[in-house]
Structures are given as C-alpha cells and as structure tokens.
Amino acid sequence: MAIILVSLRRWILLFALISICFMWTNFGNADKDVLETMPGVGSGAGDGNSVGSGGDGDGSGGNSVGSGGDGVRAGGGGVGFGDPAQIISKTLLCFNDKYIYSSCEESCRLNENGNLNVPSQKIDEFCKGPCLTETNLVLSCLDNIFSNFIFYNKATIQDIKETIQSGCGYGPQRGNFNVAEHIQTEESKALKTTHHALIGLVLILMWHGLLL
C-alpha cells in the first residue's frame, strides 16, 4: 500500500511539472504573438472612404474612413447614434476644431491615427502647457460623441489617457508617448498575471497531491 501511495505521489508531481512546462510554453508563445501582431500606423493605397456596421447589441461599430494613410474607426458596439458617417464626421471635427486645438504646436498634437509625437526636448512644454489641456479636450470631445471610439492604431480613449499619464509622470516611462508600445506593455502584463495565477493553481494541486 505504501509503495502505491509513493508511486501515486510521483505521478502527481510529474503531472504538475509537465503542466507548468506546458503553460510556460503556451504563454511564452502568446506573448510573442502580442509583440508580432501589435498594430502600427499603416499607409493606405489611394484615397477612399468606407463605412461599415457591426459590433454587438444595437451599436454601430467597425466603421472606418481613410484618406491615404489616415483613418479613424468608431467601433465597439454599444447604443446606436444614428448614421455612422455622421459620427465619423463629428469625431474628425474634434481634431480640427480651432477652439479646441488653438495653442498647442501642431507637431505635438494627437492625430486621428492615435499617435502622439512629442519630442524629448518638448516634454515639459507638452505636460505643463496648453498641449496637455487641449489634448484632454479632444479626448473629451471624442468621448461625448462616441464613448467606444477606436483610433486607427486600435487604441481606445483610455489607452491614450494612460499613455499621456505615464509619459508626463516622473517614473521610468516619462517622455514615452508611444501609444502602441503602451498597449503592448499592458497586454504583456495581463498575460503574465494569468500565467502566474495558473502556475500557483498547479502548485496548490501538486501540494495537495503529495499530502495524500
């Protein structure tokens, strides 16, 4: 009987170790997929406008408009707001409204692609000057029109806010306004958290198995 118990414990230990190795490999590959599939700023071939409808519920989502390399998408479903083309036209006005973006230098402004190009020598000027205030006004304008607004690089309004917060903070990410990189980092953190939780679960099961 004792021999059977020892053998059973060894099998449980072996199973737990194999499970950990399997999860480590899978999450490692998933992490690589995040890095490889992160959206970048693309350039369109020719000029064109396209409007589509999709999303869940009664919402209108997955809509896009492009002219060359610029594009905006209002996606994510939600409550309907009427004609998708009108929604897109209104959101584009948020970027071009002279009463919103009036003092911020054009090169430092948030664009329709979801990019913030703030030179290192202008970090303080952006974070402590009118650019920060006006950029937040643009985000508020977009949020008031369509709360699930998605930029061309797949960034959400919240992604932009978090990027600005870390870029203007005094931590290691100060001066980094790369929105795509911020999204990538958050995705990686989420994968690692899940990974660690699963390993903890396997270790608990292994411990209980050894106590049998």
In a domain, 139, yes or no: yes
Give the whole-angstrom CA distance, residue 4 versus residue 61: 60
Same domain, 94 and 164: yes
Q: How confident is the model at residue 54 (pLDDT cuts 50, 70, 90)?
A: very low
In a domain, 10, yes or no: yes
Give the whole-angstrom CA distance, residue 104 versus residue 125: 9
- In this prediction, residue 48 carries a pLDDT of 38
Same domain, 23 and 80: no
Same domain, 31 and 54: no
Same domain, 8 and 57: no
Same domain, 18 and 111: no
Domain enclosing residue 93, as ranges: 47-177
Enter the DSSP assignment of 149: E
Candidate ranges 36-40, 81-85, 152-156; pick with highest mean pLDDT: 152-156
Q: What angle do CA 124, 128, 131 make, to 5 degrees?
A: 95
Token couple for 5? 């118990």
Instruction: Answer whether residue 197 shows pLDDT above 60.
Output: yes
The CA-atom distances, in angstroms, between 77 and each of 62, 120, 200 are: 8, 37, 36
Same domain, 168 and 67: yes
Please count the structural domains in the chain: 2
Same domain, 68 and 87: yes
Q: Determine the length of the chain.
A: 212
Same domain, 89 and 138: yes
Same domain, 100 and 30: no
Contact 73, 151 (CB under 8 A): yes
Same domain, 77 and 148: yes
More confident residue, 44 or 89: 89
Q: What is the mean pLDDT of residues 198-208?
A: 64
In a domain, 42, yes or no: no
Helical H runs in the chain?
A: 2-37, 84-96, 123-128, 130-145, 157-168, 179-210
Query: What angle, 0 to 180 degrees and rounded to 10, lies between the N-to-C axes of helices 130-145 and 84-96?
Result: 170
Give the whole-angstrom CA distance, residue 62 versus residue 78: 11
